[in-house]
Amino acid sequence: MKERGFHARRAGAIAIVFGLYLSLAGYKSLEGDQAYRLPLLLRSQNRAIYRGDPFVDALEAFNPHGGYLAILNAGGRIVGLDATLFGLFAIAFALTAVGMAMLASAGRDDRQSASEIEHHAGDRSIENDGFDPSHARGTTPALLAFILTLLAKAGDIGTNHLFEPILLDRLIAFSIGWIALGSIVKKIPCHQYLTPILVFIIYYVHPSLGLQIGSLIAAAYACLFIAGDRFGIDRRASATGFVLTLLSLAPAFARLPHQSKIVFDGLSERELILIAGYIQSPQHMTPGLWRTPQVLAWFCYAILAVVAIAAGSMGRDQNESCSNRSRNSARFRLGLILAITWSGLAIAWRLVAIDQIPRFILFQPFRVATIARGLALVFIADHVFRLWTRRTIFNRVRGATIVIGLTGDWALVVATAFETTAILIEFFPVWIGWVFTSRIFAVFQGAPSLARRVGMKCGHANLIRTTTNPQNEGISKPIRASSSLSVHDIVIYKYAIILLSSAVLIYGLTFLSRHDTQSGHWRLIAAIGGAVVVSLIQEFTSFRINRRRLVILAAACWAFPIGALLIEVAPIASGGLGKWILAAVVERARFVEIPKNDSERLAVWCRSHTDPASLFVVPPGDKTFRLWSRRSVAFNRAASPYHAAGLADWFDRYKKHVGFHGSIDDFAHAYIKDRYALEHGYDRLGVDRLADLARDEGAMYVVAGSNLLKDGSSSAIPLELVHREGRLAAYRVRDRQAIARAHLPLNRDGEPR
C-alpha cells in the first residue's frame, strides 16, 4: 500500500506539472516542423491532394519519418488527428517525467542524502510541512530534475530542445530514450532485454536518433562488460544487452548501403556539404555557425555537472572511513554514460568540424548533445536540491540562479560563474590566499592568512553538512573539529564567500544588462528576490500541502488548458470580445484546427475556393500554407528533402524564388550572412517576375503581399487579385494570350483588330 501511494503521489505531481506547463509554455500544433511533416500523412490518406508537389514527391523517394507518420495515421483514424497529436504529446510528457525520475534516483549519493535530509528534518519550517525524509529523497530530486528539463532552453547546440510544446518525432524519440537510459542506470529487472526493444522503437519513430541512442547504449554496455561488476552489472547482463542492442539496430545497418546511395547520388560531396550543411540545416550540422553564447552555455552544463559531482563527493563526512561508505553503483553508471556521451561528441567534433566527412555531417551527431544536457541536469538537480535544503538565504539564492539561468544562454553563463566561484572558495579556501591580495580583504582583518590556515588545516573545507548550532550555522563540522580556528574567524570566512561570489554575480548582471538580447538579468534578479522572499517567509510561517490545497493547486494549474479547449471547441462569439479572447487563447495553446495568422486564414480560404490540383507559389519562409490549404506548393525553405537529387531541385527553386544569380558558394555566404535579407528577394521580384516564376513552375496562383497591385487591377497586369487576408493575398496568374489581346488596339465592336 505504501508503494502504491508513493506512485500515486508521483503520478499526481506529474499531472499537476503538466497542467502548469500547458498554462505557461502553451501547446502548439499544426505549425512549425509539424507543418511540413503532416502533408506527407495527408497525402498517404488522400492521393488526390498534393499531386505535383515537389517536396511531397521527393519525400516519397526517401522519407525518414515513415514510422512516426504511421503512428499518427493509426491514431488519427480512431480519434482524429488533433486528439492524436495531443495524446501523443501527453504520453511523451509522461515518459520524459518517468525517465528523468529513473535517472534522478541514481543522481544522488543515497547515504549522504539521507544524512542531510534527516539532519534538516529538525528545521521548523520543514517539520511543520509534514516532511518525510524517505519521500523527499525519492520524489523531490526526481521532480526537480524533470522541471529543469522542461525549463532548459540554454545551450541547445544542434537546435534540439530537451522538451518543446509541440509534438515531433524527435520529442517521442527522446522521451523513450530517457526510459532506455534510466533502465540501465537504475538497473531494473531484465534491463538487458527491455533496452534493445526501446532502441528499436526509437529507430522506428526517428531513424537518426535511434542509431545515435542505440550506439550510445551499446557503448555503455561494452564499457560495463570491460569493467566487470565494478558498476553493479555483471558481465553476462552487459554482454546480453550489447548483443541485443546491436541486433535491434540490424535493420538500420542493413538499409544503410541503399540509403547512402540515394542520399549521395546527384551531387558532388562539396555541393552536398554546402547545400545540406550551410543552407538546409546549418544549425543542426555545422558547429562553426553556432553562436558563442550557445556554445558557452552548453559547456556550462558540463561545468555544473562536474561541480555537482565534486560537491557531492566532498560533502560526505570526512571522519567516515571509505570502507564504511555505501557505494552508489547507479551514480557511477550515470557518470559513465555521461562520460561516454562527452567522448562521442568530442569525436564527432573532430569528424565534422575538422575532417568534414560528409556522411558524419549528414548523420547530425550533435543531436547527442541534447542527451548530454539531460544527463548533466540530473546531477545539477541534485546539487540545486542540496543547496535549497541548506538553511541559509545565500545558498538558496545560488540554487535559484542556476534554475533560472537554464532559460537563457548568457544567463546560464553568469549563473555558472557565480556558482563555480562559490564552490571553489567553499571547498578550497586556500585558493583565496593564493589568488587575492590582502587589499581585497582589508575589511576583514587577517583574512588572507585565515584562508591559508583554513586550507592547510582542513585540506578542503566541507561546508555542506551543517549543524543546528545557532553560533556556527552554515559552518562545517570538519573545520571546527580539525582546526583551532575561532568562531569569529570562521564567520569572517563565511562572509568572504558571500562577498566574492556576490561580486561575480553583480558583474555578471551588469554584463547581461548590456549584452544579453534575452534580458536575462531581469530573470536572474527575479530569481534572487524570489529565493529571498521564500526563505524569509519560511522563517515565520509554514505551508503544509494537505489534500484540500492539493486539489486547489491542481485546479489552478489546469484552469487555462481546460478553459482554452472549451473556448476553441465551442466559441462563445464570432466577433467583438469573444473573437479577441479566442485569438488570444489560440495564440497561446491550440488544441483544434483553428487558424491564427494571415497565412493560415488565407490558406483555409484557398482550400475552399480553389481546385485541389492547384499549385501555389508562396514566400520562401512560409511553413504552414501547404498544410492548411491542402494544396501543392512549388517551394518552401523549411520543407526540404534529404537526398541529393531532391536537394539539387530544392536549391534551384530556392534561387529562383529569391531572385538570386550566382554560385552555391555565393548563395551559402549570403544565406549565412543574413537569411532574412536573402528571402526578402521574393518581395522585390515584382508583379511581372512573380508571374513569370509561377508560369515557370507551372503554378496557377501566387501568394504575396496584399499591396502588390498598388495601381489596381487591369487586364494588362499578369496577376489578378482573388482574395486578400490581412497582409497577404492570393493572386491568379493570367494567361499570356489574354494579356497580349489586352495590349492590341480594339475595333468599334471592342474586339482586337
**Contact (CB, 8 A) for 593 and 54:** no
Examine the domain organization and report whether 185 and 317 are in the same domain. yes
> Is residue 520 in some structural domain?
yes
Looking at 529, 560, 593, the residue that finishes a domain is 593
At 593-616, the pLDDT tens digits run 999 999 999 999 999 999 999 999
Examine the domain organization and report whether 668 and 653 are in the same domain. yes
Examine the domain organization and report whether 350 and 269 are in the same domain. yes
The pLDDT confidence band at residue 547, using thresholds 50, 70 and 90, is confident
Examine the domain organization and report whether 377 and 504 are in the same domain. no
At 576-595, the pLDDT tens digits run 677 888 888 999 999 999 99
**Between helices 66-79 and 169-186, what is the axis angle to 10°?**
100
Examine the domain organization and report whether 523 and 556 are in the same domain. no
Share of the chain above pLDDT 70, in %: 79
> Is residue 40 in some structural domain?
no
The pLDDT confidence band at residue 115, using thresholds 50, 70 and 90, is very low
Examine the domain organization and report whether 11 and 75 are in the same domain. no
Cell of 139: 520524489
> Is residue 698 in some structural domain?
yes
User: Closest Cα partner for 28 from 167, 130, 136, 161?
Assistant: 167
Examine the domain organization and report whether 525 and 553 are in the same domain. no
Half-sphere exposure of 504 (CA within 13 A, CB side): 21
Please give the residue that has the higher pLDDT: either 698 or 544. 698
Look at the block and give the residue holding cell 511543520.
128
Residues in the chain: 753
Examine the domain organization and report whether 428 and 289 are in the same domain. no
pTM for this predicted structure: 0.86
Looking at 503, 519, 540, the residue that finishes a domain is 540
**Contact (CB, 8 A) for 568 and 594:** yes
The residues near 420 (Cβ < 8 Å, ≥ 6 apart) are: 303, 307
Examine the domain organization and report whether 492 and 621 are in the same domain. no
Examine the domain organization and report whether 193 and 221 are in the same domain. yes
> Is residue 398 in some structural domain?
no
User: Closest Cα partner for 401 from 387, 390, 415?
Assistant: 415
Residue 140, pLDDT > 90, answer no
Exposed, middle or buried: residue 709 (CB in 10 Å: 0-12, 13-18, 19+)?
middle
> Is residue 48 in some structural domain?
no
> Is residue 36 in some structural domain?
no
Structural domain total, the chain: 4
Q: How far apart are CA 418 and CA 425, in angstroms?
A: 11
The residues near 257 (Cβ < 8 Å, ≥ 6 apart) are: none
> Is residue 525 in some structural domain?
yes
What mean pLDDT comes out for the span 53-64? 87
Indicate left, alpha or beta for 105 from its phi (over 0: left) and psi (-120 to 50: alpha). alpha
Examine the domain organization and report whether 604 and 587 are in the same domain. no
To the nearest whole number, what is the mean pLDDT of the chain?
81
Look at the block and give the residue holding cell 468599334.
748
Examine the domain organization and report whether 448 and 504 are in the same domain. yes
Residue 616 domain boundaries = 598-743
> Is residue 52 in some structural domain?
no
At 669-708, the pLDDT tens digits run 999 888 889 999 999 998 989 999 999 999 999 999 988 8
Q: What is the pLDDT of residue 536?
A: 86
Q: How far apart are CA 633 and CA 55, in angstroms?
A: 8
